[in-house]
């Protein structure tokens, strides 16, 4: 029987007791796990100690639930603990977590040893699915730790910044960056719970719904600046019945927010738009974005509009979905033959620009496009991503009309799994004109591969 090993090691710029405390709260496991795994902590007893049983559920492939029970075999604060699988998908699983002081911060070491059932079949499953998945999980964990326990770099003039959409992918990265710089951050969310799950402790969550206006005025109380990074749930699949449309959230929601910010006497505004926004754009989402941009320009508040291309990062729902396909299917489906030209931009580059723009004179009342340093076909993006994620799968390119036909059928079924519009959204090219960026806010941009390496391939096996 082969014993497989994974080792990951990381420095965090936070004191040992704080880091250990974070890891000894089982509820933080969800914050360290990719959203796509559907992690759910099921046990109620969360008091860490030797002998504590922890039960959770994950959905590693095709939404099929898998229950996993482990026990804390050894708990030695503040230097380590060990969890061992009692019941789960592995024949055996042992995860040693070690923490030690390193300079002013903490070194975190994860050492996993596991064995699989089914003999030679298990070995094949390990090479094809298990090891790539574990590497992805540990890579994500590394990036999540940086986000949740960030190195603070306290800014000279801290502000209180409201971030609408701060519980989301791009807005979350911006909220994290502002928090790291020492600003007080308030995230606006229309969810009842778990909005702060992906954010560092210390960020305040306030309830507000931009489609109804409920809670908006109160949520903007005592804030100096506003970042808007709104998108409706399950984008790009619109659901008019639930108000999940570009018009309702991007356009009308932004108009409502800007009006409330203006009443609140806000000093500065950053709006996350998208490359392609125009009054006469072919696609209705770009016309909605233009409507939102117009509200921002006419709102009487100093603003910066940022138009990113296609944003990727450890928490994105798009590029990660392709890698998810690769982990669960024998091929990676690719609409439009993957011909569209893309210029993927790393989420931290967008977050840094947004945080800089909030205070930079050079960005005041400007519209700035941002794309990554390289333009390539979508096919090439996926190829490079699979290479960095170390998953080897053939691409299955399909012509756009066929994929749209399938989407038209799926759109008629309950749950609207896909729509022809969503396929158009995915198939569109995303290329920026970075001239304004380099003129006004010069900076280095992260290549696709360097960005991906921050959350893939961060382990040794």
Ligand X SMILES: NC(=O)c1ccc[n+]([C@@H]2O[C@H](COP(=O)([O-])OP(=O)(O)OC[C@H]3O[C@@H](n4cnc5c(N)ncnc54)[C@H](OP(=O)(O)O)[C@@H]3O)[C@@H](O)[C@H]2O)c1
CB nearer to ligand X: give 229 or 437: 229
Interface segment toward ligand X; rule CB under 6 A; list 52-60, 297-305, 306-314, 419-427: 306-314
- Paired tokens of 130: 């298990």
**Contact positions with ligand X (CB under 6 A) in 128-187:** 164-165, 167-171
Interface segment toward ligand X; rule CB under 6 A; list 24-32, 307-315, 379-387, 404-412: 307-315
Longest dimension (CA), the chain: 69
CA distance 20 to 79: 7
CB nearer to ligand X: give 235 or 295: 235
User: Contact with ligand X (CB under 6 A): which of 26, 122, 139, 308?
Assistant: 308
The secondary structure of 22-81 as a DSSP string is: HHT-GGGGGGGS-GGG--EE--S-----TT-EEEEEEEEETTEEEEEEEEEEEEETTTEE
User: Contact with ligand X (CB under 6 A): which of 5, 25, 87, 191?
Assistant: 191
230 binds ligand X (CB under 6 A): yes
Which helix (H) or strand (E) element contains residue 114?
strand 105-115
CA distance 134 to 120: 19
Counting every residue written for the chain, the total comes to: 461
Using only C-alpha atoms, the chain has a radius of gyration, in whole angstroms, of: 23
The least distance separating ligand X from the CB of residue 344, rounded to whole angstroms, comes to 9
The least distance separating ligand X from the CB of residue 136, rounded to whole angstroms, comes to 19
Interface segment toward ligand X; rule CB under 6 A; list 4-12, 120-128, 203-211, 442-450: 203-211
**Contact positions with ligand X (CB under 6 A) in 263-302:** 272, 274
- The β-bridge relationship of strands 341-342 and 332-335 is unpaired
78 binds ligand X (CB under 6 A): no
The least distance separating ligand X from the CB of residue 151, rounded to whole angstroms, comes to 23
CA distance 71 to 219: 42
423 binds ligand X (CB under 6 A): no
Q: Which residues bind ligand X (CB under 6 A)?
A: 164-165, 167-171, 188-191, 195, 208-211, 229-232, 235, 249, 253, 272, 274, 308, 310-311
């Amino acid at each position: 029987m082969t014993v497989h090993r994974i080792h990951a090691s990381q420095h965090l710029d936070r004191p040992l007791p704080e880091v250990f405390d974070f890891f000894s709260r089982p509820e933080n496991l969800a914050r360290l796990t990719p959203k796509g795994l559907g992690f759910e902590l099921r046990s109620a007893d969360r008091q860490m100690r030797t002998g504590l049983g922890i039960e959770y559920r994950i959905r590693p492939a095709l939404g099929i639930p898998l229950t996993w029970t482990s026990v804390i075999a050894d708990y030695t604060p503040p230097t380590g603990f060990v969890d061992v699988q009692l019941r789960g998908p592995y024949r055996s699983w042992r995860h040693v977590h070690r923490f030690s002081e390193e300079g002013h911060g903490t070194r975190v070491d994860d050492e996993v040893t596991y064995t699989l059932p089914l003999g030679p079949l298990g070995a094949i499953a390990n090479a094809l699915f298990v090891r790539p998945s574990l590497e992805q999980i540990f890579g994500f964990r590394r990036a999540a730790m940086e986000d949740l326990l960030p190195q603070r770099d306290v800014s000279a003039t801290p502000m209180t910044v409201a971030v609408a959409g701060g519980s989301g992918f791009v807005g979350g990265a911006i909220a994290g960056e502002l928090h790291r710089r020492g600003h007080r951050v308030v995230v606006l969310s229309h969810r009842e719970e778990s909005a702060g799950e992906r954010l560092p402790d210390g960020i305040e969550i306030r309830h507000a719904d931009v489609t109804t206006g409920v809670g908006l005025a109160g949520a903007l109380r005592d804030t100096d600046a506003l970042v808007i990074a709104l998108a409706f749930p399950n984008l790009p699949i619109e659901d008019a019945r639930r108000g999940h449309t570009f018009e309702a959230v991007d356009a009308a929601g932004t108009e409502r927010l800007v009006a409330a910010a203006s009443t609140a006497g806000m000093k500065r505004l950053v709006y996350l738009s998208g490359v392609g926004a125009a009054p006469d754009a072919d696609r209705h989402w770009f016309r909605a974005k233009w409507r939102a941009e117009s509200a921002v320009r006419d709102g009487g508040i100093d603003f910066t509009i940022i138009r990113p291309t296609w944003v990727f990062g450890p928490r994105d729902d798009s590029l990660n979905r392709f890698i998810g396909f690769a982990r669960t299917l024998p091929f990676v489906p690719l609409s439009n033959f993957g011909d569209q030209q893309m210029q993927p931009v790393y989420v931290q580059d967008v977050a840094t620009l947004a945080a800089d723009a909030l205070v930079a004179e050079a960005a005041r009342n400007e519209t700035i496009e941002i794309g990554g340093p390289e333009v390539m076909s979508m096919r090439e993006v996926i190829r490079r991503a699979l290479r960095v994620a170390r998953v080897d799968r053939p691409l299955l390119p399909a012509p756009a009309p066929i994929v749209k036909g399938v989407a038209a059928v799926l759109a008629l079924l309950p749950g609207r799994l896909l729509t022809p519009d969503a396929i158009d959204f995915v198939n569109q090219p995303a290329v920026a004109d970075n001239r304004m960026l380099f003129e006004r806010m010069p900076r280095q941009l992260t290549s696709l591969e360097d960005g991906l390496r921050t959350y893939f391939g961060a382990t040794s096996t």
